[in-house]
Structure 1
């Protein structure tokens, strides 16, 4: 019998790797890092065989020449390795991944893109680095478009999570499956709407997203400069409200936001809460536990970790 044994939502930031010593709010950073370790230990205790890893793409695995709303990795998976995150091939649970893809199509509800040679970036490899450290598991990577509008609606993401849950539970094997949603919470990246860039920096960014498939590393130095020069725009009030929904098992209520409303309220980076929403739907919206929330302006992001455990309390 296949069962879903744990869910984890966690923010990511490559600045943990590249600028730890320059971090001003060290106590906050350490509390967040410790919460990642606690979540990792809970994952280890749940003994998953496979982790469905839901994350975003920062134009190092997808580019503007082709941007699906949802992409399942069903074969090879390679991490790009930027900013000190894991690099190279990652183990994929191919039978489960292909079962999910097929079941979604057969249901008539979703036609996800799929890739037999998927490249992921820190939107997922950050979670591999910190949450799967030392764990002998395979992954099913699911990449959600959260940065190249038009974006899939929050409601559509929640529906996909429920559909994947149904697919997983009908898998004719014997799997213990965990789910990770990697991204968010509130933050604003100095990234343009690719359809209407203004100024040299925004034109450069769109050019990198369009032309970087074969040489994305060539753009990274200036990309990093633009990001490091940005001012933080956090909304701890939104973050607390969102985490309260997670704790109450009501993450689905975030679907009341339109894409535009979410960006206005919590920044363009908050579109990554789609990954948490998908994760929570896969866990049937069981109430979660907040392990940490730390506003980190030097990382431009409201950093949070939460765990959703479907096991009844002992």
Structure 2
């Protein structure tokens, strides 16, 4: 059967994508950010997963206030980079994995998760920036990608506990898929940041680092963090961290932390990144 071999989490800051696209990665401001992803690039080259399940949130590119799915899985053959107002990023089209995506949709829905099935969708920086951080700027992405969008923009978002349990359901789904493929699951967004209001620019490094520790040591405790605590401790956009809990829920309890990267600031946001391998 297929299996999830590892989980990866990373921030998906749009300015990081712009720095990549404009060739600014070696500038003094950006160099420390990108240096922390060199290990991830090496790890993916060595690991060579067959597919990635990428958890992200749409930023009003595919969805709007007219339609807000809590969880939406992309089941199409491909997904084009979205135009977010200044043209699509110059990155490859994302090739999907319809067979596995439909299997996950069926399995999670029968597992009592309300999953919206998407057969046509453009993907924005929430998905493409993490791929660029892991693979650089290739002419084609090296593996298939299943997009799984989570509403963390319009209240109410799902709870951390709901996301954690969805990750467990995704692991069950993958392990019931008849293939020998090796899958990596990615959680993106965060870490602490706030983009508006009196606390714009808010960063809480202590909370961020404790969250990274918890992914390895005590994910059950992280799953209990409330919406209000995220807002208080991680800023209004810190709620994106619930998507990391989907990634963590899809892994075994026993795992190995392979790499960790944390840097402040990057466009008034804390950059976080971790690689966890199942053992």
Report TM bin, short chain: 0.7 to 0.9
Q: Which has the larger radius of gyration?
A: 1
CA distance in 2, matches of 1:29, 1:304: 14
Q: Does 1:167 align with 2:173?
A: yes
Higher helix share goes to which structure? 1
Query: How far apart are 1:176 and its partner, in Å?
Result: 1.1
Which aligned pairs between 1:23-62 and structure 2 lie closer than 5 A? Answer: 29-62=30-63
* Alpha-carbon contact 2:51-2:143 (below 8 Å) kept: yes
| Counterpart residue number, 1:197 | none
CA distance in 2, matches of 1:79, 1:139: 13
The 1:289/1:136 distance shift into structure 2, 3 A limit, reads closer
Query: How far apart are 1:100 and its partner, in Å?
Result: 0.4
TM norm structure 2: 0.88
CA distance in 1, matches of 2:28, 2:252: 34
* Alpha-carbon contact 2:188-2:244 (below 8 Å) kept: yes
CA RMSD in angstroms comes to 2.4
TM norm structure 1: 0.79
Once the two structures are overlaid, the 10-residue window that deviates more, 236-245 or 123-132, is 123-132
| Counterpart residue number, 1:79 | 81
Query: How far apart are 1:152 and its partner, in Å?
Result: 0.7
| Counterpart residue number, 1:6 | 6
Match of 1:64, SS state, is coil
* Alpha-carbon contact 1:147-1:268 (below 8 Å) kept: no
Displaced runs of 4+ in structure 1, greater than 3 A? Answer: 17-21, 26-29, 81-89, 132-135
**Number of residues of Structure 1 aligned to a counterpart in Structure 2:** 268
* Alpha-carbon contact 1:10-1:305 (below 8 Å) kept: yes
Q: Does 1:130 align with 2:98?
A: no
Query: How far apart are 1:132 and its partner, in Å?
Result: 3.4
The superposition leaves residues 172-226 of structure 1 with CA deviations (integer Å, 9 ceiling, x where unpaired) of 12211111111110000228xxxxxxxxxxxxxxxxxxxxxxxxxxxxxxxxxxx
